[in-house]
Structure 1
Amino acid sequence: MKKFFALTINGKLRYELIFEKLFFFLLISTFIFGILNKNSFIYLSSLLTLVVSLLIKLVFMYTRFKATLLLYFLSQLFIFLSMFLGRIISIYSIFPYWDKFVHFYSGIILFFIGLAIFTTLCKSNLNKNFSLSILFGIFFSISMAGLWEIYEFTTDLLLKLNSQNHSLTDTMIDIICGSISTIISSIIYIFYSKYRNNK
């Protein structure tokens, strides 16, 4: 339990863990604010966001998932940008292209999460199955983009939200944005890996 609330690793203060705790505190505060003001949208959205963030933390902490603390931070940052700023603070309505930026950003994170999952499942170094790991990362990221749209559709339906603007075009553009960033990330990673190996 002490590990769950830690702000340091090996005695070193970590900005990833500081961000996490501040984010959790922010979500709890907005949840309480929503209840006090009888705003069901705010307290339900805050609770849902908190649950998703805690699930991500539990996956990173208590599974054999081989991922870095940086990747964990980027994952929590995605939740902050999309679910907190985008939905609870309603940035989506202020900046029309915020949604596209978030989906583009998600493709980058999901590609590297795919690589981490591949490493965990194969229990081997990425270099041993380099091409297969790249393909896995790409397909995983694109698949998750589709699942995220299913999640948005479901929450829109159940909570009477409008994440998808009631538009198939919006849904497809979101998936395309995530797919493009996935491909870009894979190309950059391939060149980086070759450069690192040659060096």
Structure 2
Amino acid sequence: MQKSSFSERCLNIFLLFVVISMVLSFGLTVKDALLGPTADQGAAWFLALEIILGLVIVLIPKWAAKRLEIYLPPTLYLFFALFIYGSVYLGTVYHFYSVPYWDKGLHLLSGALLGGFAFSAFGALVPEDAIAKISPFFIGMYSVAFAVFCGVLWEFYEFTCDSFGMNLQRYMQAGRPLVGRAALMDTMGDLFADFIGALIFAVVAYLQLKKNRNWLKTFFFKRIEQK
């Protein structure tokens, strides 16, 4: 039997934690929906639905990879699971976005997640013989550029939604639009966090690639060969 890597063990431990915490939370929420005050039952059922959706989002990549017989990079999946747990479950369901800098911490994590996904795309689009000739520094720069570009696209999405009366970019406070630098703080803070998260990941990646070029392949999706 092949020994699992450190990242695979970390991933399995975290997924077990996610499943246990969400199932317990779901059970307690259903209990409140059934036994709580009538006025609060609708909100409790909606909360239970959000918990189930969060659990499905976290686990569906693992299910799809097994179904399609594809190797799922454990480090990339761990970043993804952490991000979904922090944003959908803790952030949306339990309102952790009210915690100072919670959103910025998630942007740091998403920067690393997108940097890892940049490596996956790199392996899918660049021939293997060409990858061996590309310097680790360039690969690191590419991952940062990819992550920041995706962060900019996300801000485009939030800006578009805000044009229809939403407040995703936190440009309003107490129902009133902010002015000048205050209106830029959320958007620019998100972009800085994306960049810093991607940069930290790129530095780690550069150091790893200097020691072992095959480390890059741990982020590649690939077919599992049947024996």
Q: Structure 2: where are the runs of 5+ without partners?
A: 34-40, 173-182, 214-227
Hey, what does 2:152 align to over in structure 1?
Answer: 146
Residue 37 (structure 2) aligns with = none
Q: Tell me the residue number matched to 2:176.
A: none
CA distance in 2 between counterparts of 1:60 and 1:109 reads 18
Equivalent residue for 1:180?
A: 196
Residue 88 of structure 1 corresponds to which residue in structure 2? 93
Equivalent residue, structure 1, for 2:134 = 129
Q: RMSD between aligned alpha carbons? A: 3.9
After superposition, what is the alpha-carbon deviation per residue over 1:5-55, rounded to whole angstroms, capped at 9, x for unaligned? Answer: xxxx85869442243244245445545626923216524533442343244
Alignment coverage as a number of residue pairs: 187
Q: AA paired with 2:18?
A: F
> Does the C-alpha gap of structure 1 residues 62 and 173 become closer, same or farther in structure 2, counting only changes over 3 Å?
farther
Aligned residue number for residue 23 of structure 1: 18
Task: Return the letter of the residue paired with 1:78.
Answer: F
| Offset at residue 154 of structure 1 (A) | 8.0
Change (3 A) 1:61 1:43: same
* Alpha-carbon distance in 1 for matches of 2:161, 2:50: 10
Equivalent AA in structure 1 for residue 61 of structure 2: I
AA aligned opposite 1:50:
L
Please list the CA deviations of residues 164-186 of structure 1 after superposition, one character each: whole Å capped at 9, or x if unmatched: 43455313311221112212332
Output the amino acid matched with 1:20. L
Gaps of at least 5 residues in structure 1 are 1-8
2:180 paired residue number? none
Provide the C-alpha distance between the structure 2 equivalents of 1:155 and 1:84, rounded to a whole number of angstroms. Answer: 22
Choose 1 or 2 for highest CA Rg.
Answer: 2
Q: Using structure 1 for the length normalisation, give the TM-score.
A: 0.68
Residues 195, 60 of structure 1: CA spacing in aligned structure 2 closer, same or farther, 3 A cutoff?
Answer: same
- CA–CA distance in 1 between the matches of 2:47 and 2:80? 22
User: Taking CA–CA contacts closer than 8 Å with sequence separation of 6 or more, which of the two structures ends up with the larger relative contact order?
Assistant: 2
SS, match of residue 84 in structure 1:
helix
Equivalent in 194, 209, 214 of residue 193 of structure 1: 209
Give me the TM-score of the superposition, normalised by structure 2: 0.61
Letter paired with 2:201: S
Q: What percentage of aligned pairs have identical amino acids?
A: 27
Pairs within 5 Å for 1:19-98: 19-27=14-22, 30=25, 33=29, 36=33, 37-39=41-43, 42-58=47-63, 60-61=65-66, 68-93=73-98, 95-98=99-102
Q: CA deviation at 1:161?
A: 7.9
